[in-house]
Amino acid sequence: MSSTTSILSIDDSIDHRCPNPNQTLNNRVDNKFDCPVCHFLSQRQFQVSGYWVRQCEACGHQFAELRDRNSHISRCYSDDYFSGGGAGYADYLGEQRLLVGRGRWYARRVSRFCGPGAVLDIGAAAGFTLAGFRETGWTTQGIEPNTTMAQHARQRLGLLVEHATLETWEANSTFDLVLMLQVLPHFLDPAGALCKAAKLVRPGGHLLIETWDRESWTARLFGRHWHEYSPPSVLHWFSRPSVIRLARAAGFEPLMSGLPSKWIGAAHAKSVLRHKAQSSIFNRLALIVARLTPDRLSVPYLGDDLFWALFRKV
């Protein structure tokens, strides 16, 4: 897929500031299921895997109705998430070459705004993206809630990746660039997560977000059978405007946005399609095509539903 970039100019009509620091990230969104982006009322839309997907009546943000928030992270991001298939990965460690390449690609992408410095990857997994940044001269650090992945990053790649969650992690310094690549939809409280991220970016530093776009043509085509409707690991379904609103509220200004150059392993593609195969004719057809590709090969991701956006801390 070709990469496109554009200067973002989204009207920010919603203004909510970072929460009182005495409130924790996990208890700030209450159980009445108000919208976590604008705090307006929401309505149930449809069910996926036994979870209701709710939609805000004001801003349209969609989020999962998650009633049991206790131990959500440990339940969702066990080793099975990285190797058990389904909504997670069939073999995350097998994606090393692709993900190191993703790191190099993003390092080149942001070089117009920030040169090599200190970068923090939130949800660093096995450290592959950080390894790509390290190759281009960045000083790397990461946090990851899965013990096995963090250990792999330290022992196999020699990277400083701590076993920690963003909600509880305390940094010793600030960073020139913070990465949140495909992690924002997994937070119980994404607004709080962005406020915590803002504290980790030095003044004038940058934040890079990559996430899925529910307003893309791909998401619209598949409707409720879209692959990203996979609660409880995915809890939020953003659009570009909703990500920008949350980032602005946390103290960031948008600089650029675009579609990533994304390749995925054939084994991963087949695993995701198998997970969704019963849900729609589109997914069954895609699975038939994907089965023609050997597991060891990579395939270009043709959807337009993943985007990145670079922000500067004001």
Give the binding site for Zn ion (CB under 5 A). Answer: 35, 37-38, 40, 56, 58-59, 61
Q: How far is the CB of 126 from Zn ion (least distance, A)?
A: 35
DSSP 62-101: EEE-----TTHHHHHSSHHHHHS-TTS-S-GGGGHHHHHH
The DSSP bridge pattern shows strands 175-181 and 118-122 to be parallel
Tell me the two tokens of residue 271: 């695993």
- Which of 53/286 has CB closer to Zn ion? 53
Radius of gyration of the chain (CA): 18
Q: How far is the CB of 37 from Zn ion (least distance, A)?
A: 4
Distance CA 124, CA 31 (A): 30
- Which of 8/38 has CB closer to Zn ion? 38
- Which of 25/37 has CB closer to Zn ion? 37
Q: How far is the CB of 242 from Zn ion (least distance, A)?
A: 8
In degrees and rounded to multiples of 5, residue 139 shows phi and psi of -90, 120
- Which of 58/171 has CB closer to Zn ion? 58
Query: Phi-psi region for residue 41, left (φ > 0), alpha (ψ -120 to 50) or beta?
Result: beta
User: Is the peptide bond between 203 and the residue preceding it cis, with omega within 30 degrees of 0?
Assistant: no
Q: How far is the CB of 291 from Zn ion (least distance, A)?
A: 40
- Which of 107/244 has CB closer to Zn ion? 244
- Which of 56/191 has CB closer to Zn ion? 56
Q: How far is the CB of 42 from Zn ion (least distance, A)?
A: 7
In degrees and rounded to multiples of 5, residue 76 shows phi and psi of -85, -30
Q: How far is the CB of 35 from Zn ion (least distance, A)?
A: 3
Q: How far is the CB of 153 from Zn ion (least distance, A)?
A: 36
Q: Name the packing angle between helices 190-200 and 240-249 (round to 10°).
A: 50
SS3 assignment, position 268: helix
Give the CA dihedral 115, 99, 81, 64, nearest 10 degrees: 60
- Which of 54/275 has CB closer to Zn ion? 54
Other C-beta atoms lying within 10 Å of the C-beta of residue 225: 15
SS3 assignment, position 266: helix
In the block, residue with structure tokens 């059978």: 225
- Which of 56/249 has CB closer to Zn ion? 56
- Evaluated on CA atoms 153, 98, 134, 201, the torsion sign reads negative
Q: How far is the CB of 18 from Zn ion (least distance, A)?
A: 17
